Amino acid sequence: MKAPSFTLGRRAFIASLAASTALPMASLPSRLLAQEAKAGGMLRTVAWPAPTVLNSAISTAGTESFIAPKMFDGLLAYDTGLVPRGQLAESWDIAEDGLTVTFKLRDGVKWHDGTAFTAKDVAFTFMEVLKVIHGRGKATFAALEAVDTPDDLTAVFRLTTPSPAMMRALDSRESPILPAHIYEGTDIQANPANTAPIGTGPFKMAEYEVGSYIVLVKNPDYWDAGLPLLDRIIIQFVADAATRASMLEAGQIDGVFLNMLPAPEILRLDALPDFERDTKGYEAMPSAQQLDFNLDNEYLADIRVRHAIAHAIDTDWITQNIWYGLGAPGKSPLHVDQKEYYTTDGVPSYDYDLEKAKALLDEAGFAPAANGMRFSLMLDPSPWGTESIGAAPYIKEQLRQIGIDVTIRTQDFAVFTTTVWTERKGDLVLYTVNLGVDPVIGTQRFYWSKSYNPGVAFSNGAHYVNPQVDALLEAAQVELDPAKRKAQYAEFQQIVMADLPVLPITNIFGANIVNVKVKDTTIDALGALGGFSRAWIDA
Amino acid sequence: MSETLTTKRGPKAPSRAAVRYVLRRLGQAVLVMLLVVIGSFVLVKMSPGDFVDTLAGTSEMTADQMASLRARYGLDQPVPVQLLYYMARLVTLDFGFSPANNAPVIDVIAKRWPVTAILVIASVSISMVVGTLLGVMAARNAGKPVDLGLSVLMLVFYATPSFIIAVLMILIFSVKMNVLPIAGFASIGMGYTGWDYFKDVAWHLVMPVSALCTFYIAIYGRIGRAAMLEVMKLDFIRTARGKGLRERRVIYVHALRNALLPLVTMAGLQVSALVGGAVLIETIFGLNGMGRTAFDAVFQRDTNLLLGVVFISSLCVVVVNFGIDLLYMLLDPRVEVK
């Protein structure tokens, strides 16, 4: 008999090795399984779209958020469960009234150009950059009045009101600390350092070809001794998702992070022995697909119509068929991963029931015309990703069945944001969005009456105004008592799911897909958006 | 271009007519460029949304932040004013700033132009040489099995879209065999120079160039075959054979030179088509060329960059067409300017 092992391909060979070792190892305690991390080596990955700047304080776009934290540190990092841990701050102390937060900074930290890091950098970054230029920073740090620097290693944040959300937003992606000596007194948005970053982070920029790739190399003077483990990170900007998948499969890159492959590709590669999927490390960026109802529309202004539409759309169907199960059906304005506040207790839900939907529309007085249609609506799916465009025909068909004639309008990015948010010409708007690390940062903008602001994308597009919700959101913004805050957000979820200005469709589960030799890219709540300082290659 | 050319017997001398022709062509070129600039500017400005809208969409911004960015890039000015400013700058060859790339347009184009230039030059020359040779081979064997086989091959090349070929090649040569790099122009961070760098780039361009070639190989093959069959019937070929020249010399010197005219015309068209039309191939192979740049600029409403790319590409097309006309005169002494 011929020995079959000689004809095995490379993958099958690795698989058989894995299978032969899996059984004896399964009985070992897990800590013995953890392999010794090896220093050295290079991680190759991809991103898209190409970044405009390399600084996530200036631009909060996706690629910027992925690359910049490798070169910049924040005051804090967050372990799984969003438990804060010191990064540039060694310790911190929140005063009882919540109005001052004192950070003791790490000593001996150096900027990539050799200058010493001090409290002045912290004060400058928060007051001159994050509060002024950062997209979300203006809201996140609204209560931050001043940063005092009694000495080089102490930064005292003075607040006008307590701000629990602020304490969630101090990581390297959301609030990277910038070098004051480089930026101070310059036009910050035009500073050349935006594309030649000088940070304190684990990696330094070595090479940057605008629009094509960036090469990062190990920062030998990183404050966290022995880290980072990798010598180099190479990030190529590749527009085509199928190309990204082929590159990973051919071994020309080592991992694709942050859902940069379509779900079917992630599942297909995950089934191969060379690759594994990782869905951890997305707590800091829960994202969701949702459907805004424009309440200025005469039909959608009627709550019965919104309830009818909710009954006609099977969010589980969309989650399984459009998201390939990489998500959970939306049941709340918050993400299911926002465990502290997410609840379904007492929160109205809308089971899939076409008859109930039709009855609600009848009750609202919108009887079907001779052709069976009651009225028409426009549906704008967001053009990024494929999932909103994919789910739009399903929604159109479902609503046709209850007598609502839907026209799907697919547009490019600029036209989509302009029609929907500037010109407010949309009726139903289906899109995916980042719900933020705290409800104040991500969710509030869709429901707070004061964030209704035509011209600003991803604001309160429904034009929802409910003083009770405003009061709850504003109270939770400054509430330091976790129990009280939890109760406030529970009530918020109950009210907005009853009023339904926005129909949550799917809570998206983020996914990385990496070659099995890539280890520890996800070590905390920031996941792939972190510094990759402990990532290593088992080669 | 063909209506400006006549065939006329007589001595060929650089005449005032030729000078007038060149000047007229230059005048036409300037007019074309002007129309291209104004047309593309107006078209981009007519579509809803501007650069700040697209930026605000990816990076959340407040209304104040958006207004200050609009002022920074002059987007708060009326469109005719923006156009005048733009044209005034263009006269001094200042293409402005590309906000999406955070760099001057000229720098962006300088980086991306070589990618497309190499793609275009490689695919035009390879497809022309290979296509012509296949066409000649088919013509010499007209009606025989070789001709039939080549016809089928060319039909397949002609009918298969380049992106399908690209994807098939990626599957075969990269995913299955793992021999060719999929994305990028050169290996990153390897620091190759000289001959090593050349080999590295060539290796990266095997698949994109092949994908861009196949369609044109079919076109050159079909045109070449037809033109050769046409020329081979003419008297001077019979004369050449009658003089006792070797068949190889008859085919490749006497006949081919005369059959080249339609092929040269085609090359001009191919250059024009590829300069902006390689978007798909540049996208699939992660190449940052002019096509991809223009495509992204449209979607990011990066007007300065788009106009810069359109300007340079149009200039290139105009120059190439001009060169093709001159080449006509070299190839066929009977062709002379009016």
Rounded to an integer, the average pLDDT of A111-130 is 96
Residue ranges in A350-501 assigned as alpha helix (H): 354-363, 387-401, 413-417, 444-447, 467-478, 482-499
Taking an 8 Å cut-off on Cβ atoms, the answer to whether B188 and A213 are in contact is yes
Write down the ipTM of this complex.
0.84
Confidence of residue B13 (pLDDT cuts 50, 70, 90): low
- Tally C-beta pairs within 8 A across A and B: 153
| CA distance, residue B113 to nearest chain A CA (Å) | 13
Give the pLDDT mean for A104-121: 96
* B286 to chain A: closest CA residue: A238
Give per-residue pLDDT as tens, A468-486: 999 999 999 999 999 999 9
Residue to mutate among A44, A173, A415, A440, with most B CBs inside 10 A, is A415
B249 touches B206 (CB < 8 A): no
Q: Is the pLDDT of residue B86 over 50?
A: yes
Is the predicted pLDDT of residue A32 greater than 60, yes or no?
no
Of A159-173, A397-411, B271-285, the poorest mean pLDDT is in B271-285
CB contact under 8 A, B111 and A455: no
Which amino acid is located at B265 in the chain?
Answer: T
User: What is the layout of strands, in order, in the sheet containing A232-237?
Assistant: A203-209, A213-218, A232-237, A42-47, A255-256, A512-515, A275-278
Interface contact A210-B108, CB threshold 8 A: yes
B177-214 pLDDT, tens per residue? 999 999 999 998 778 888 999 999 999 999 999 999 99
The span from the CA of B271 to the CA of A446, in Å, is: 50
pLDDT of residue B337: 52
Q: What does A66-113 look like in DSSP terms, one character per residue?
A: HHGGGT---SEEEETTTEEEESSEEEEEE-TTSSEEEEEEPTT-B-TT
Q: A232 near A42, Cβ under 8 Å?
A: yes
Please tell me the distance in Å from B305's CA to the nearest CA on chain A. 13
Residue B180 Cα, gap to closest chain A Cα (Å): 9
pLDDT of residue B256 exceeding 90: no
pLDDT digits 0-9 by tens, A193-251: 999 999 999 999 999 988 899 999 999 999 999 999 999 999 999 999 999 999 999 99
Is A66 an interface residue toward B (CB < 8 Å)? Answer: no
**Per-residue confidence (pLDDT) for residue B246, from 0 to 100:** 85
Cβ neighbours around B245 below 10 Å, total: 15
CB A382 within 8 A of CB A458: no
Rounded to a whole number of angstroms, the distance from the CA of A245 to the nearest CA of chain B is 10
The stretch B316-322 carries a mean pLDDT of 83
**Do residues A20 and A514 lie in contact, with contact meaning Cβ atoms separated by under 8 Å?**
no
pLDDT of residue A351: 96
Whether pTM > 0.90 for this model: the answer is no
B chain contacts of residue A213, beta-carbon cutoff 8 Å: 184, 188
- In chain A, which residue's Cα lies nearest the Cα of B65? A133
Distances (CA, A) of A438 to A103, A146, A166, A284, A442: 21, 22, 9, 8, 6
Which chain A residue has its CA at the smallest distance from B171's CA? Answer: A246
Contact A449, A471 (CB under 8 A): no
Among 3.40.50.10790, 3.40.190.10, 3.90.76.10, 3.10.20.90, name the CATH number for the domain at A42-217+513-537: 3.90.76.10
Residues 294-333 (B) with a CB less than 8 A from some CB of A: 296, 299-301
d(Cα B278, Cα A70) in Å, to the nearest integer?
34
Contact B258, B334 (CB under 8 A): no
Q: Fold match between A42-217+513-537 and A287-508?
A: no
Predicted pLDDT at A13? 36
CB A286 within 8 A of CB A338: yes
Distance in angstroms (rounded) separating the CA atoms of residues A402 and A372: 9
Mean pLDDT of B49-69: 76
- The pLDDT score that the predictor gives to residue A21 is 37
Q: Is A287 helix (H, G, I), strand (E, B) or coil?
A: strand
**Interface contact flag, B301 A414, Cβ < 8 Å:** yes
- A135 reaches B (C-beta below 8 A): yes
How many Å lie between the alpha carbon of A458 and the closest alpha carbon of chain B? 7
Task: Return all residues near A376 (Cβ < 8 A) that are at least 6 apart.
Answer: A404, A405, A406, A407
pLDDT band, residue B274 (cuts 50/70/90): confident
- Identify the weakest region by mean pLDDT among A307-316, A527-536, B88-97, B203-212: B88-97
pLDDT score for A474: 95
pLDDT at B239: 87
- Report residue B336's pLDDT band, with 50, 70 and 90 as the boundaries: low
CA distance B319 to chain A (A): 28
SS3 A256: strand
Residue of B nearest to A205 (CA): B189
User: Which is more confidently placed, A384 or A537?
Assistant: A537
- Amino acid letter, residue A201: G
pLDDT tens-digit profile of B98-123?
888 888 999 999 989 899 999 999 99
DSSP state, A289?
A: E
CA–CA distances in Å: residue A304 to residues A331, A361, B106, B272: 18, 7, 57, 58
d(CA B265, CA B321): 9
| B139 has a pLDDT exceeding 70 | yes
- Contacts A423 to B, Cβ<8 Å: 48
Q: Which of B309, B318, B329, B323 is nearest to B110 (CA)?
A: B309
Please give the pLDDT value at position B238.
86
Question: What CATH number was assigned to the domain covering residues A287-508?
Answer: 3.10.105.10
Q: What is the pLDDT of residue A2?
A: 36
pLDDT per position as a tens digit, B122-138 = 999 999 999 999 999 99
Q: How much is the average pLDDT of A327-331?
A: 96
Do A508 and A271 form a contact (C-beta atoms < 8 A)? Answer: no
Amino acid B57: pLDDT? 66
Whether residue A440 is predicted with pLDDT greater than 60 in this model: the reply is: yes
Q: Which of A145-149, A250-254, B289-293 has the lowest mean pLDDT?
A: B289-293
- pLDDT at position B100 is 85
C-alpha–C-alpha distance, residues B314 and A242, integer Å: 31
B280–chain A Cβ distance below 8 A for any pair = no
The torsion angles phi and psi of A205, rounded to 5 degrees, stand at: -75, 130
* Band of pLDDT at residue A180, cut at 50, 70 and 90: very high
- Chain A residues near residue B111 by CB distance under 8 angstroms: 209-212
Q: What is the pLDDT of residues A48-77, one digit of tens each?
A: 989 989 999 998 888 999 999 999 999 999
- Decide which of A458 and A103 is more confident: A103
Looking at residue B270, its pLDDT comes to: 87
B140: part of which helix (H) or strand (E)?
A: helix B105-140
3-state DSSP assignment of residue A259: coil
**CA-CA distance, A51 to A58, in Å (whole number)?**
11
CA-CA-CA-CA dihedral for B18, B24, B30, B31, to nearest 10: -150
- Average pLDDT value for residue range B40-65: 77
Please state which of the ranges A298-312, A392-406, B309-323 shows the lowest mean pLDDT: B309-323
Task: Quick: pLDDT tens for B63-80.
Answer: 777 888 888 878 888 888
Whether B182 sits inside 8 A of A250 (CB atoms) is yes
Give the C-alpha separation, A386 to B236, whole Å: 62
What is the pLDDT, as a whole number, of residue A29? 41
Give the DSSP per-residue string, A134-157.
Answer: STTHHHHTTTEEEEEEEETTEEEE
Q: Is the pLDDT of residue A508 over 50?
A: yes
Judged by CB atoms within 8 Å, which residues 219-258 of B form the interface with A?
Answer: none
**pLDDT value for B96:** 86
Structural domain boundaries in chain A: 42-217+513-537, 287-508
Contact B99 A207 (CB under 8 A): no
Contacts of B185 in chain A (CB under 8 A): 212
Identify the CA nearest to B289 among candidates A50, A211, A253, A246. Answer: A211
**pLDDT value at A344 more than 90:** yes
Q: Which of A526, A502, A521 is nearest to A437 (CA)?
A: A526
Residue B338 binned pLDDT confidence (cut-offs 50, 70, 90): very low
Say whether B183 and A236 touch across the interface (CB within 8 A).
yes
N- to C-terminal Cα separation, chain A: 35
Q: How far apart are CA B208 and CA B204, in angstroms?
A: 8
Q: Report which residue type is found at A283.
A: E
Token pair, residue B68, equals 């200050």
**Tokens linked to A37:** 């991390």
Does residue A137 or residue B126 have the better pLDDT?
B126
Q: What is the CA radius of gyration of chain B?
A: 24
Q: Say if residue B4's pLDDT is above 70.
A: no
Chain A residues in contact with B55 (beta carbon < 8 A): 52, 59, 61
Chain B residue numbers touching A422 (CB-CB < 8 A): 53
How does residue B23 score in pLDDT terms, banded at 50, 70 and 90? confident
Check whether A34 has a pLDDT greater than 70.
Answer: no
Q: Tell whether A133 lies on the interface with B, counting CB pairs under 8 A.
A: yes
Q: What is the pLDDT at residue A190?
A: 87
Res. A44: pLDDT tops 90:
yes
| Cα–Cα distance for residue pair A327/A320, rounded to 1 Å | 8
Range with lowest mean pLDDT among A309-323, A449-463, B79-93, B164-178: B79-93
Specify the pLDDT at position A5.
34
- Give the 3-state secondary structure of residue B105: helix
For residue B3, the surrounding DSSP H or E stretch is none
Tokens 């291209």 sit on residue: B36
Residue A228: is the preceding peptide bond cis (ω within 30°)?
A: yes
Cβ contact A334:A267 at 8 Å: no
